Amino acid sequence: MTGHRALHILSSQRRLGRCRFCSRPRVPLQWVTVMVSTSLPDYAPDWAFFLDVDGTLIEIADHPDAVNPTPRMKAIITHLRLTTDGAVALVSGRAIAELDNLFMPLIGLPAAGLHGLERRDAEGRIHLEALTESPLNEAKHELREFTKLNPGILLEDKGTTVALHYRNAPSLESAAQATMREVLYRLGDDFELKSGKMVVELKPSGRHKGHAVEEFMDESPFRGRTPVFIGDDITDEDGFLVVNRMHGCSIRVGETNYSAAQYCIPDVEAVLNWLEHYHSHHWR
């Protein structure tokens, strides 16, 4: 893997104004062209790792519950934590409780769940966004009716977010996307859609994975280190943008024509190999 290729990316987030959670200003949407490296960065001893899960550390399955986290992957995470003094966080669209089940027997890993709506810091403290009673309940009912009428579409209810998966019914992508847009229209600006690989998700707006990375980087043991974010999907782009701004390394898993990531890596196996070799450098 050597060389560079041009990609067209969005320079920042979608909307103007200020984030309602952290009051940071949003910046105007702008298309820019960057050169992405098809080789990977040289290892550095001061890295902090932010790792997406599905499609990055574990292979995507037909059903979110059917994934298979391998003992090797868990061993790599354990070694990585030792090498970095604990500066390893999971940053996922899954809920933290789900991540805990997947990563058993590893306990209490720093993690951001639901695209940053919930976060567990390195001390084990949970940070939740204060959300008003969810107006999602009516929407969930409507989406359940939609799935009954469209076999193959899977509804995933994560509590404060809800997703429609069409991996098992790709011909229904347009119908799923259109239904979600209708629901979003009724819910208004407090919600937004996140599209991923064969999935579209409805979530409270304003928080994304990049915010979680910024918060981790303000805390021990991440503070003072260089962030490295690895992810495979559109929802990881916010993390890439934040890490780029911090002069860190952003790495996209798989082929794509649109990404803010500086580097790309082919697949889950390559990610695990690369992380495994980082540990073998014995920095200390």
User: Shortest approach of Mg ion to residue 216 CB, angstroms?
Assistant: 18
CA distance 281 to 120: 28
Q: In the set 49, 51, 55, 264, which binds Mg ion (CB under 5 A)?
A: 55
User: Shortest approach of Mg ion to residue 52 CB, angstroms?
Assistant: 4
User: Shortest approach of Mg ion to residue 55 CB, angstroms?
Assistant: 4
Site membership for Mg ion, residue 118 (CB under 5 A): no
Q: In the set 47, 50, 52, 99, which binds Mg ion (CB under 5 A)?
A: 52
Which residues inside 200-259 make contact with Mg ion, applying CB under 5 A? 232-233
Ramachandran quadrant class, 255 (left: phi over 0; alpha: psi -120 to 50; beta: rest): beta
Site stretch for Mg ion (CB under 5 A), options 50-58, 147-155, 204-212, 244-252: 50-58
Nearer of residues 230 and 249 to Mg ion, judged by Cβ: 230
At residue 168, what is the residue type? N
End-to-end CA distance of the chain: 28
Nearer of residues 94 and 120 to Mg ion, judged by Cβ: 94
Reported for 190-196, long-range contacts at CB under 8 A and 24+ positions apart, including other chains, are: 190/135, 191/135, 191/136, 192/14, 194/93, 194/115, 194/234, 194/235, 195/234, 196/93, 196/233, 196/234, 196/235
Nearer of residues 112 and 139 to Mg ion, judged by Cβ: 112
Return the ∠ at Cα 50 (arms to 45 and 55), rounded to 5°: 125
User: Shortest approach of Mg ion to residue 232 CB, angstroms?
Assistant: 4
Site stretch for Mg ion (CB under 5 A), options 49-57, 72-80, 152-160, 258-266: 49-57
Number of residues that bind Mg ion (CB under 5 A): 5
User: Shortest approach of Mg ion to residue 193 CB, angstroms?
Assistant: 17
Site stretch for Mg ion (CB under 5 A), options 13-21, 44-52, 103-111, 121-129: 44-52
CA distance 79 to 284: 13
* In contact, 250 and 263? CB cutoff 8 Å: yes
Nearer of residues 209 and 279 to Mg ion, judged by Cβ: 209
Lookup: tokens for 203: 């979530």
Q: In the set 9, 54, 222, 272, which binds Mg ion (CB under 5 A)?
A: 54
Residues near 80 by beta carbon (within 8 Å), at least 6 away in sequence: 49, 88, 275, 278, 279
User: Shortest approach of Mg ion to residue 28 CB, angstroms?
Assistant: 27
Nearer of residues 146 and 194 to Mg ion, judged by Cβ: 194
Nearer of residues 117 and 183 to Mg ion, judged by Cβ: 117
φ and ψ at 200, to 5 degrees? -130, 135
Report the sign of the C-alpha dihedral through residues 150, 153, 156, 160, in that order. negative
Active site residues: 52
CA distance 181 to 165: 15
Residue with nearest beta carbon to Mg ion = 55
Which residues form the interface with Mg ion (CB under 5 A)?
52, 54-55, 232-233
